[in-house]
Amino acid sequence: RKEVEQDPGPFNVPEGATVAFNCTYSNSASQSFFWYRQDCRKEPKLLMSVYSSGNEDGRFTAQLNRASQYISLLIRDSKLSDSATYLCVVNGAGGGNKLTFGTGTQLKVEL
């Protein structure tokens, strides 16, 4: 089983739509969770951290379910500029703050 699993997509959605991505992780000892965004041929950029209580940043909402080892990202009112690959990232129990990256979910927002 992969440490972090994501549906690769692509998710093709019209502008203005709401889209949700899910991610599962295998290490129950993981303590930190993130969503990163990666544009084509660019470096990943931190989108948001995911807290146990859930958190929202503008049109983006992230939620964590520790019991099910499941993380989600909701994007409301999708913009063309949201088109990218979204990486689910989990911090393991090892030292040095090592992160494990999912392979990403590709989002394409269309007119």
Partner 1 sequence: SQTIHQWPATLVQPVGSPLSLECTVEGTSNPNLYWYRQAAGRGLQLLFYSVGIGQISSEVPQNLSASRPQDRQFILSSKKLLLSDSGFYLCAWSLAGVSEQFFGPGTRLTVL
Residue 101 Cβ vs partner 1, minimum distance, rounded to whole Å: 4
Q: Which is nearer to partner 1, 19 or 92 (CB)?
A: 92
Please state, in angstroms and as integers, the Cα–Cα distance from residue 56 to each residue in 8, 21, 41, 59, following that order. 23, 15, 27, 7
Other residues' Cβ atoms within 10 Å of the Cβ of residue 102: 25
Q: Which is nearer to partner 1, 18 or 32 (CB)?
A: 32
Residue 90 Cβ vs partner 1, minimum distance, rounded to whole Å: 10
Q: Under the rule (CB under 8 A), what is the footprint of partner 1? A: 31-32, 34, 41-46, 49, 87, 91, 95-104
Residue 48 Cβ vs partner 1, minimum distance, rounded to whole Å: 10
Rg (CA), the chain: 14
